[in-house]
């Protein structure tokens, strides 16, 4: 089976015995409250999904990532994974101290040994990592978080609590075991934050022609407010997979990370994490992890050409798929001679506009069972349900 990034699947969850000791120790430690993204990152670090990270980035690793997509030891890592803190939280914290990591309700998640404490240049982070300006979603998050960063290894006593998708919350160790049990030597990962429409279906089935299995791995962490809620999306995935996919060659699991809208760099992050989950291939379509016009249409594919042998996972790269009226099915410019007048494209933005008006997306864009779920969800939202 494919090796995790860095060679070892990290596990930062402590034993029961160590957990009791940390719970007792944490009572006398200064505390930092994690926001929802940081809680997602803690979960990803603890379970090995972000291997080789053993904690939030220290300053040397952060600087290396911002400037050159490398940790201090030279390992490829594309985006900062950091813990922010307020002036009040860091007032009594020095490098070498230990701090308690807590959720919004004060429950202990873990303990971090502080290797670095610094005030970052967030404008520089925005421009270097996201090619962004103050209208980019990343800037809203950076502004809302604390002005300090704390970095160091973590010991986790409990993963963040969840009430949804429990049967689909598989760790990298669990997905790897599932692939092995099913005899899948090659697995394609499909990253999505939207309902799967006909173009996505086409891409994933082309991938299934090339690999033993398909991991449909929707992101269920924080997304933009106008994205379709994860609960609605999961209903869409389930009905679509049950009716239109070979279930013995398909696995649905959720990806707990928050969306960063980092374009090419985030595409690399998605690939690294899916390698840790045991996938050998990842589908990279047009404008992967993009937002607005901050990135070129195929920048997220082209960035992999510059990585050399840093990643074992392979990319499956696709052009913009469309419904072809000439051939009567899904296609791309590589497989269809149809001119623009015979191609039906619908963006996620356009479909959301249709749904908000109570209009049904056409069959050329989405399966009718998915359209039913989306129309019902938008009707309830419009009615304030």
User: Which segment of 102-116, 144-158, 226-240, 339-353 scores lowest on mean pLDDT?
Assistant: 339-353
pLDDT of residue 265 exceeding 50: yes
Q: What is the pLDDT of residue 383?
A: 54
Catalytic residue selected from 176, 193, 198, 286 = 193
Q: Which tens digit of pLDDT belongs to each residue from 157-174?
A: 999 999 999 999 999 999
Residue owning tokens 């005899």: 183
Across 280-303, average pLDDT: 94
User: Residue 285 and residue 270: Cα distance in Å, rounded?
Assistant: 13
Query: CA separation (Å) from 32 to 12, 101, 110?
Result: 18, 5, 10
pLDDT of residue 231 exceeding 50: yes
Q: Is 161 an annotated catalytic residue?
A: no
Averaged pLDDT score across all residues of the chain: 94
pLDDT of residue 91 exceeding 90: yes
Q: Is 124 an annotated catalytic residue?
A: no
Q: What fold, for 16-156?
A: Sulfate adenylyltransferase (3.10.400)
Q: Which CATH architecture has domain 166-382?
A: 3-Layer(aba) Sandwich (3.40)
- Of all residues in the chain, the percent with pLDDT exceeding 70 is 98
Residues 6+ apart with CB under 8 A from 173: 9, 11, 47, 48
Q: Which tens digit of pLDDT belongs to each residue from 3-18?
A: 999 999 999 999 988 9
pLDDT of residue 385 exceeding 60: no
Catalytic residue selected from 194, 317, 352, 360 = 194
pLDDT of residue 83 exceeding 90: yes
Domains of the chain, by residue range, sit at: 16-156, 166-382
Q: Which tens digit of pLDDT belongs to each residue from 340-357?
A: 999 988 676 777 788 888
First to last CA, the chain: 46
């Amino acid at each position: 089976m494919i090796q995790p990034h860095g060679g070892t699947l990290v596990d930062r969850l402590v034993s029961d015995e160590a957990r009791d000791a940390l719970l007792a120790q944490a009572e006398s430690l200064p505390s930092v409250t994690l926001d929802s993204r940081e809680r997602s990152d803690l979960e990803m670090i603890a379970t090995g999904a972000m291997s080789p990270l053993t904690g939030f980035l220290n300053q040397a690793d952060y600087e290396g990532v911002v400037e050159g997509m490398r940790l201090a030891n030279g390992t490829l890592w594309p985006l900062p994974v950091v813990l922010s803190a307020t002036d009040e939280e860091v007032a009594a914290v020095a490098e070498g101290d230990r701090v308690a990591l807590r959720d919004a309700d004060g429950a202990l998640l873990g303990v971090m040994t502080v290797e670095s404490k610094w005030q970052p240049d967030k404008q520089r982070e925005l421009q270097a990592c996201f090619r962004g300006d103050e209208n980019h979603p990343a800037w809203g998050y950076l502004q809302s978080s604390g002005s300090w960063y704390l970095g160091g290894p973590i010991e986790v006593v409990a993963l963040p609590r969840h009430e949804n998708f429990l049967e689909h919350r598989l760790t990298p160790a669990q997905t790897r075991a599932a692939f092995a049990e099913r005899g899948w030597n090659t697995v394609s990962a499909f990253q999505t934050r939207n309902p799967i429409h006909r173009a996505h279906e086409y891409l994933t089935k082309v991938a299934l022609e090339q690999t033993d299995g398909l991991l449909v791995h929707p992101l269920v962490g924080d997304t933009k407010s106008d994205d379709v809620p994860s609960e609605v999306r999961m209903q869409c995935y389930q009905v679509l997979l049950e009716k239109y996919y070979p279930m013995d060659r398909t696995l649905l699991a959720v990806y707990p990370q928050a969306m960063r809208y980092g374009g090419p760099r985030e595409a690399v992050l998605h690939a690294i994490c899916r390698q840790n989950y045991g996938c050998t291939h990842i589908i990279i379509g047009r404008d992967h992890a993009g937002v607005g016009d901050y990135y070129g249409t195929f920048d997220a594919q082209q960035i992999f050409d510059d990585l050399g042998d840093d990643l074992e996972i392979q990319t499956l790269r696709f052009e913009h798929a469309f419904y072809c009226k000439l051939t009567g099915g899904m296609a791309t410019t590589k497989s269809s001679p149809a001119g623009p007048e015979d191609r039906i494209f619908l963006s996620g933005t356009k479909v959301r506009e249709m749904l908000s008006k109570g209009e049904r997306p056409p069959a050329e864009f989405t399966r009718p069972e998915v359209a039913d779920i989306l129309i019902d969800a938008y009707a309830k939202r419009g009615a304030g349900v």
